[in-house]
Chains A and B, each alone.
Chain A
Amino acid sequence: MNIDSMQFWTFFFLILTFGIYMTIAWRSRVKETKEFYVASQGVPTIANGAAIAADWMSAASFIGMAGMIAFLGSDGSVYLMGWTGGYVLLALLLAPYLRKWGKFTVPEFVGDRYSDTVRVVAAICAIVISFTYVVGQMTGGGVVFARFLGLEAHWAVIVAAVVIFFYAVLGGMKGITYTQVAQYSVLIVAYLIPAVAVSQQVGGFPVPQVTYGTILAELDGLREDFGLDRFTEAFAGRDGGQLDVFLVTLSLMLGTAGLPHVIIRFYTTKTVRGARFSGFWALFFISLLYLTAPAVGAFTNLNLLQGAQGATADDLPAWIQPWTDAGYVTLNVDDGAIDSVSNVAASGADLIVSNDILVLASPEISGLPAPIIGLMAAGGMAAALSTAAGLLLVISSAASHDIYYRMISKEVASEKTQMLVGRLAMTAAVVIAIFAGLNPPAFVAQVVAFAFGLAASTFFPILILGIFWKKANAKGAASGMLTGLIFSSGYMIYTLELFGTQANDHLFNVSPEGIGAIGAVLNFAVTITVSNLTRPPSEEVQEMVESIRYPAQQQLKAAGKI
């Protein structure tokens, strides 16, 4: 592979796609606050679905997931099921009702439904959750620039941040929606082309979802030779076994349904019906990547092991060398032959390969031409950019609308001032995220677990109860949210090396990624108990909860003017 031509095509596709995104953002720039956040609710459901999909699929989904599955094997299903199954909860239990309620954001809803105190707690949670994600996107974008354009790592992060900032601030939700549709197209094409090519090459049939079954037996055999668990063996990849797999899957599902940057997207449809169909289109588009990811994981794993089989450090496949130079592959060959492979640096295996390179390297592994590699880089950037833009929007709306407009200015600030505060909040978030991205916190992957656990144990229960149980009240929701927050973050701080704390052993085999499910159960229990012991919400609020159950006013056949 000629490195110069690879750099040329990477540059070509990045410039081309950025040009498209910027043009779309500029053409649909907006000046009204409402337009800025919800795009006049005039977005067709299929476009909205693609935008939700791009918003949702981050650098982690695009770059990291298939690589994780390659090494985790069967248990990679926690991410596959966890990050898609939540959409069933979202589409059936939350989106239509929140849409009918008719407010911008999660803090807006809980502010109306419960109280202003709950609104502020929710706004702060939304900012914290979204910010941790933004950092991940910037470092993800940085990896792409650094590897494919040969930029120095710090500059790579800064360039990624500036681009993200520029069009998020410029476009607002309408710009972001259509930009995200373009980004979805780029990322899915970039993901599917190499997957289909590898499937044809290895399995002799271009549908990866079908052919990866045919190589599983061979892969299992190879993995045993290299000291790995069999790919098809359940509960081998996680220490906590079946219980842990169950809890992690449930936490990721509840977290998915409770994440503020996904929920806000359902307000961009015109109707309740539109919200239901947006949910369908979103998961449909997401499933195209998620159904392909385990196949990509299995194929690259097979290719990698076949390449390493019986090889010595000198006759490894050529694609490994540049990644070794970039520091993502480590060789510890002392006795000549490579007889163990791992993704864990501390394992001491002969060949240690980072999870994060398998997807980006897949075109090289299967010997695809340089333009495809360039497209792959553009796809990884699209995933990072689209998610970061959606997250920045949540940060700015929570800061400008829920905290500044409602709490500080007591609802007298002009549209213009609100927009300014929103943009300042975005700027602050980007600047802080650059600093965090420049000093890459080793815990980025862990903070993602943190964000999901928080969303699952704070937002999900009080949203569900707020919609389905009229008697849920402010005191109940506030105590439930605080219980979930303190319990989940307490356990995470206890078990993870967050903020310099010491990591302790997992209790009862429950990993910190799975604690959100238990936090959510506690939140439900506390909210219900406290609500039952205190005064129910006002008649007016209860009537509002009743009214969101019906999409439109009933039209009688004789009367009715609409």
Chain B
Amino acid sequence: MSHVTHEDSSGTAPPPDNSWRQRYWKKNVRLMVVLLAIWFTVSFGFGILLIEPLNNIVILGFPLGLWFAQQGSIYTFVILILVYALWMDRIDTEFGVSERKQAGEKS
């Protein structure tokens, strides 16, 4: 069988301390759900399901539905990942699990 290295030696940690874990995880999941809801709305919602009604609105030559399908959704995806990374930094710091100082990661 394989041996898994355990970076988090939680087996030895005192049990009462672990209530922070649930709160941390809840915040993480809530952030993910909000961002994925936006992800779905903009791409599948605006770009596919509602593309035909949105195409009646034309801005700078672009029918709006087409713009979401070929441009707007991609801009949104990039921003969503950035927001996730930055927001998780804040949550990590709040709970004292940040890795920023520890490994000297450049970003």
Chain A interfacial positions (CB closer than 8 Å to B):
44-46, 69, 74, 76-77, 80-81, 84-85, 87-88, 91-93, 96, 100, 102-103, 111-112, 116, 209-210, 213-217, 232, 234, 242, 245-246, 249-250, 269-274, 276-277, 279-280, 283-284, 287, 290-291, 294, 406, 543-544, 546-547, 549-557, 562
Contact = CB atoms under 8 A, between A and B. Distances in A.
B48 A279 contact: no
B32 A88 contact: no
B42 to A, nearest CB: 9
5 contacts: A91-B84, A116-B2, A213-B62, A283-B81, A544-B4
B31 to A, nearest CB: 9
Interface of B: 1-2, 4-11, 13, 17, 20-21, 24-25, 28, 32, 35-36, 39, 43-44, 47-49, 51-52, 55, 59-63, 65-67, 69-71, 73-75, 77-78, 80-82, 84-85, 88-89, 92, 95-100, 102-107
Contact of B98 (A92, A549, A551): A551
Contact of B89 (A112, A269, A273, A549): A273
B77 A273 contact: no
Q: Which 5 A-B pairs have the closest CB atoms?
A: A213-B61, A77-B69, A213-B62, A276-B85, A271-B99
B8 A547 contact: yes
B97 A45 contact: no
A76 B48 CA distance: 12
B98 to A, nearest CB: 7
Nearest to A231: B66
B92 A406 contact: no
Contacts, number: 194
Contacts of A556: 96
A85 B39 contact: yes
Contact of B107 (A273, A290, A543): A273
A42 B106 CA distance: 10
B35 A92 contact: yes
B107 A277 contact: yes
Contacts of B6: 544, 547
B48 A280 contact: no
Given A232-B66, A543-B11, A92 B81 contact: yes
